[in-house]
Every structure is written in C-alpha cells, then in structure tokens.
Amino acid sequence: MNAITPIEPGATLPETTGIVIITGRAPDYLTERLREKGYEVFYDQEISYESLSERIASVEGLIVTTRLKINKALLHKAVNLKWIGRLGSGMELIDVPFAESLGITCVSSPEGNRNAVAEHELGMLLNLMNRQSGSMNEIRQGKWIRTENTGIELHGKTVGIIGFGNTGSSLARILSSFNTPILAYDKYRSGFAGGLVQEASLEQLCRHAQVVSFHVPLTAETLHMANDDFFGALEQHPFFLNTSRGKVHDTAALIRALQEGKIAGAALDVLENERLDTYSAEERAQLNWLLSQENVVITPHIAGYSQESFVSMARVTLDKLGI
C-alpha cells in the first residue's frame, strides 16, 4: 500500500506548520519516516511551479528532484519554509544562497547514489569498449561478425576523471580492480591522491587519458566545458563519458569530435535537453545522428536511480536534516 497522500487538484493545504511537500518521485520510506516525526506529508510528483507557488506559504519542508526551479520568486512566498532536501546531487535548480540568507537549510544526497552512478557508468564503458550494443544490433540484422567486433580491454588503461567529489571518487574506487591508473582533475579539491589515483591538471589529463569521465555540477563555469577546444586537446582519442549534467557537454562539439575521430566513442546518461517532446528540428537531427552510431550509448538519466539508491538518497537527505 502506498503511504503517500496525494494532493488533490485545487486542494488548499492547512494553514499550519509541519507540512512537507514532495515534488518528485520518492520511496514510501521517505514519507513513513517524515510522518513518524510528526510531519503532514503531501506528494505530487507532477506538481507544477504555479501550484507549488500557491501552496508554499504553509510549507515547512520541501523534497525536490530535478523538475522544478526553487527560485527567489518562490522562496519569497515561503514564509514558513525551514528546509529543502534534494534527492540526488545537483543543486543548480535551487537558489541556495538566497534560501540560506532566509535561514532555510538546503541539503543534497550525492552519497546516496554515488555508487549507482559509478556502476552504471562502468557498464556503459564496458559496453562501448566491447562493442556489445553494436554487435547485438548486427545479429538482429542476421549478421554474425567477430573480427570487426574485437573488444578493447579496460585493464591498465589510463582513466581521466574530471571532478573528484562523490561520484568521481566512487568511479575511481570501482575501477581499482581493473588496475587503471587514474588522472583526477578537480579545480576545488586537492590532497586526494593515493594508490592508483594521481592528481593532475586538465592539460595533463587531456594528454594522457584513454577514457575521460565528467563528474562536475552544472555552473556557469562548467557550462559546455566539453567543447571544441576540449575535444581538440584530447591526444589519446579516448572514450568520453558524461553522467553529470547534459549541458556540461556541447552536443554539436561532441558530434564533431565523433565524426573527426577525436574520441573513440561516447556514453551519455544526460542530454542538453532531456524533454524530447520539446525538441527543435536541429536537436532532433543531432539526437537521431547520435542514436545511429555504433560507438554511442545513451541512457535516460537513470545512472543515479538504482532500486537501492532510491531509498538511500531519502535516508541520506533526512539524516542530514536531522529528521
């Protein structure tokens, strides 16, 4: 039985404190624990910004994912809001500085899904290196081709990790059994080298890495970080992976890098625009081209959403909030 109370269309929330609205898909565990602590919980994973804005004045806590912008206009109305919990890692849709200036606590839960992201990415990488999806498509066409589908072993390859936070470090940990030297670049962290992990500059990483993986938040600084200049600096024609945010890579530049052989293949769990029904003709053409390539793997932003991480993110979020 689902223990989550849905919000009926047009319903008015009670003018009391202790109300929490969950604005994205969430496990029953989350609601059960909140209710055990005395909160009145309302769940609407399709709630609109406008509807949330109408109800926000009476709300003490928000649980959010990647659907809605929690911006200044909304926060101005949130006169009783004490905390915002993000199921996942990215906080780019929340105006955290403004929220904190109002005394609102903001937390995320990358610890809850970092292992899921690392495992998913490893699966995509091994798929690419061993031509699994491409060769299966050939078999569907009645072709049994062995020599041209010879795989490349990950063992001993140099892996470049850009952003060495929760997910970047988890990927390094999961790669340890492959004996892969790790070149890790993180502009804002240092002192994490050890074992097979070596701190490196971005230039060093681009020069030596045979696999390049992005694990950075989306900021003004990282927007289109993987652009023509970046792909042009890659000397080893590496496999390129992005499980962070779609706008970290420039799709047109990525396509050019594939066409010109600057990268051996691409594994993407994120796209610049993940609302496929809003695509322009150019966006549709780009996606269709990528989907037609045997050396491209795309998944629908699911790397961080394993069955286990779904609950773990909720647990981490509430632990951080002291609930």
Catalytic positions are 245, 283, 301
Q: Tell me the sheet residues that pair with 240.
A: 212, 266
Encoding tokens for residue 198? 């070596």
Quick one: which H or E segment has residue 239? Answer: strand 239-242
Contacts 24+ apart (CB under 8 A), 71-78: 71/95, 72/98, 74/49, 75/99, 75/102, 75/104, 77/53, 78/102, 78/104
CA atoms within 13 A on the CB side of 217: 16
Give helix 307-321 / helix 28-36 axis angle, nearest 10°. 20
Q: Are the C-beta atoms of 143 and 149 separated by less than 8 Å?
A: no
DSSP state of 83: E
Quick one: which H or E segment has residue 63? Answer: strand 61-64
Number of helical H runs and strand E runs in the chain: 12, 12
SS3 105: strand
Q: Which amino acid is at 277?
A: D
Residues 165 and 188: their CA atoms lie apart, in Å, by: 10
Residues 192 and 116: their CA atoms lie apart, in Å, by: 22
CA atoms within 13 A on the CB side of 95: 14
